[in-house]
Structure 1
């Protein structure tokens, strides 16, 4: 922001030395704000020179408030996580940034790791195969059947479609966004990470040979099919008797992402809202939606409008929500008519006629002051309350602006509810009892609060296994409390990490600024938070050290943001252009915020106080000086009559 103003001399004509003093004070304020936007220089210097930095785990603050329904449910769910019939898995990515959520699974022996989109609308799990003729560049290397001692192709039989030579079973899947996947079927060990108590299980999956559309260009490796069907990972695990016929998903909120997934049954919390889900109604997970209320008033629609074609479908693999034409128009008008003073603006993409509004501010928790509450009413009379983050997405170009994330479903009478509707909502797909439950909670924190003591962290990515060193202070463990130096809520000051790049050091150095921009984009931080600490030559490649500092005027990085940054680094989810070659994460460290002295914490207040005192003194001095000048001028120009020169006696003063 450019600040303009009038020169100090044009207003007060103060002495030169005084203007210099004010100039120094103003510069001090600017320096204070500038230092707040980047890590303290002495801390950066210490990071550059320190050979054994303090390593601390990231932990969420504990809640000391009295037991609540949510607290009791978390304790109950944590106990259930020890059961052998559950697979507990972490969710990654962000719904609107990536368009999906992923989880990590391992296939084969030795295990090969993959990031798969969690999709309740798909009935097959598949990953790119090493023999793929048309597969994009994804997050992890392709599956290599020859390297797995337990892999077996699924031979042609009467229960599957066969290849042209009638040797092996094949699969083909096409999606509404005009993307497709096809390949052969294989069987191998599938495991769900070290944080899951479910042992590896043999299961049938797809080995891709061709992918098109979004599937070709996406970052994730493939799809984890949770739908109803013979090839669904859920149906296979249930048929083996290793889990009960239920699974749960919990998607993070608008600004955070992440979440949790449980394969197997859990005891629902007492206030979970349920809707019947008729497996005979459609092959998809449906609910019996009968009414939508906006600001407490029902839309003037017949209940049958939500029962067209496939009915109301809940699909975790779809980003937004889509309503039949009449329902969409009624919903849009109700939202617009119940907005507090906001300005209608154009959407971020001129190719789409998005309905957007500015002036709501950036704080998600305050959106309910500008946007109305929405309720979904089920046929049993139970209601699911939707916060603004459940039907809005952020405008990509205008700060404090939001757009409707619910659209018209073309001429299709189906009501399709994507992931945006269930952000910060635990959704239980109780297939055994043909019902789907909804429970509002903070999904980004749910995983951490349900931590199993003694469970190890996920296995490292195969793309850098054996090359990553993550040190932990002897006095701390990943599941333990923070060090006594930082009781309660642990705060992260700076995150540093070392990368090993295959590109030559001399070729890399002219492009470090460009590399910093890519890192900022991949870690979802501002470019002024990314700082180059050191770069050295390492054989034919390079080793480069970075620091991620707090944003804006903050002194620390929030736990959620820090966990997101570290998970993206350690799971090798940072994508760099081919010009930088391949990279490996060598080491990462966390530093607490540097404690500031009292005068540093209150520097701005002190400076403002000094300026106010000086300005008041200056104004007093100037007024006194003007008064003296006018008094002297008046007295000096007065002349008694008897002392005047005769020709001046009649002159006017």
Structure 2
């Protein structure tokens, strides 16, 4: 995530980020070949609302909004801690019997990991740490030519450095992973990280760990697709600031008739990306050269990043247009953001891009 501490972001950035993320969902479905039969049941996971001052009325409205939604498989809620930390989480259950964890859903990275019971440098998080000894189905991933190994050359390890200067490292294990009682998908064996060290915002965050949804061998998505238990697509839908939460579906689901798709070029970038042409503020396009969006990776859609990042030319035009559009509504306050490098970074990705 680009920033864990809450700073006031650009006033219209949440809407932009949401629009881009919804495009990413379509891109993932349109840009990847379906490696499994279309009849595979989708896996639906919740992202949950957790506003610090949320009322029971607001929570009830969130439940009603999801219950009245379209396809039945999308009725599980996402959890969000958007106002405090700027991320969305889902619940994942690991082991036999299941141990429960709140994980940040991150389309910009690949490894799913939780704090290990033996971790000596892990913060205090939402749930107890994972205890491999209490799971009858846990097994370590033994050292092999395809992984980095621990000092004893007995178990595979992982290490990730993130753009906001936090890090995570530990060993790789395999266990039964389940996705909640409302999921149509049965529990599956999957490889995940058992964290032995974390630094920076990862150490202080409330969520237990990360659920990596990016493209890569260790991605929970790729593992399920390679097993042939879900189709090669996933979807996220955010409830918005006034409702919160949302839903996440791993696997295919019927698309609305008016769905607009855009291509995501997996050859160009390992990240989910789109070709951004223009940005509109208050119905008017920004006067910027569209070539400024044509970086190495295009425009990356990253559910684990708090802020939207723009090249400086687009940022200035976006800020100025936002201030103009709010000029007739003084209750909205000034439209502002944080000017930084025009080199965008993805928060929950081990690599920077530009």
> Which position in structure 1 is the counterpart of 2:156?
169
For the 8 Å contact 2:323–2:335, the answer to whether it is kept is: no
Displacement of 1:417 in angstroms is 11
> Which position in structure 1 is the counterpart of 2:321?
334
Q: Any residues of structure 2 matched to 1:54-69 within 5 Å, and which? A: 60=64
Change beyond 3 A, Cα 1:316–1:147: same
CA distance in 2, matches of 1:408, 1:314: 20
2:331 to 352, 356, 359: 359
CA distance in 2, matches of 1:417, 1:290: 23
TM-score where L is the length of structure 1: 0.42
Displacement of 1:167 in angstroms is 1.0
Greater shift in the superposed pair: 207-216 or 327-336: 327-336
CA distance in 2, matches of 1:88, 1:338: 36
For the 8 Å contact 1:323–1:407, the answer to whether it is kept is: no
2:341 to 410, 418, 425: 410
CA distance in 1, matches of 2:145, 2:346: 34
Displacement of 1:307 in angstroms is 1.2
For the 8 Å contact 1:321–1:407, the answer to whether it is kept is: no
> Which position in structure 2 is the counterpart of 1:201?
188
Displacement of 1:332 in angstroms is 1.3
> Which position in structure 2 is the counterpart of 1:255?
242
Q: Any residues of structure 2 matched to 1:72-111 within 5 Å, and which? A: 74-75=69-70, 77-78=71-72, 81=73, 89-111=76-98
For the 8 Å contact 1:123–1:229, the answer to whether it is kept is: yes
> Which position in structure 1 is the counterpart of 2:136?
149
Residue aligned with 2:278, SS: strand
Greater shift in the superposed pair: 269-278 or 100-109: 269-278
Structure 1 residues without counterparts, runs of 5 or longer: 1-55, 64-70, 82-86, 343-357, 361-400, 419-653
CA distance in 2, matches of 1:180, 1:98: 17
Cα offsets for 1:360-392 (capped at 9, x unmatched): 3xxxxxxxxxxxxxxxxxxxxxxxxxxxxxxxx
For the 8 Å contact 1:181–1:208, the answer to whether it is kept is: yes
> Which position in structure 2 is the counterpart of 1:480?
none
- Number of matched residues? 288
Displacement of 1:263 in angstroms is 0.6
Displacement of 1:89 in angstroms is 4.5
Q: Any residues of structure 2 matched to 1:20-31 within 5 Å, and which? A: none
> Which position in structure 2 is the counterpart of 1:273?
260
CA distance in 2, matches of 1:61, 1:257: 10
Q: Any residues of structure 2 matched to 1:201-600 within 5 Å, and which? A: 201-342=188-329, 358-360=330-332, 401=333, 403-404=335-336, 407-412=338-343, 414=344
Displacement of 1:341 in angstroms is 2.7
Displacement of 1:403 in angstroms is 4.7
Larger Rg: 1
> Which position in structure 1 is the counterpart of 2:14?
none
Residue aligned with 2:261, SS: strand
Displacement of 1:240 in angstroms is 0.3
| RMSD of aligned residue pairs (Cα, Å) | 2.5
Cα offsets for 1:141-200 (capped at 9, x unmatched): 000000000000000111111112211100001111111100000000000011111100
Higher helix share: 1
CA distance in 2, matches of 1:336, 1:184: 49
CA distance in 1, matches of 2:124, 2:66: 41
Residue aligned with 2:225, SS: helix
Residue aligned with 1:326, SS: helix
CA distance in 2, matches of 1:246, 1:62: 21
For the 8 Å contact 1:151–1:186, the answer to whether it is kept is: yes
Change beyond 3 A, Cα 1:88–1:209: farther
Displacement of 1:309 in angstroms is 2.8
> Which position in structure 2 is the counterpart of 1:571?
none
1:122 to 91, 109, 126: 109
CA distance in 1, matches of 2:220, 2:87: 18
Structure 2 residues without counterparts, runs of 5 or longer: 1-59, 349-354
Displacement of 1:128 in angstroms is 0.2
> Which position in structure 1 is the counterpart of 2:118?
131
Cα offsets for 1:32-55 (capped at 9, x unmatched): xxxxxxxxxxxxxxxxxxxxxxxx
CA distance in 2, matches of 1:272, 1:409: 34
For the 8 Å contact 2:172–2:193, the answer to whether it is kept is: yes
Change beyond 3 A, Cα 1:59–1:212: closer
CA distance in 2, matches of 1:59, 1:169: 42
Residue aligned with 1:113, SS: strand
- Quick one: higher RCO (CA 8 Å, sep 6+), 1 or 2? 2
TM-score where L is the length of structure 2: 0.76
CA distance in 2, matches of 1:228, 1:128: 23
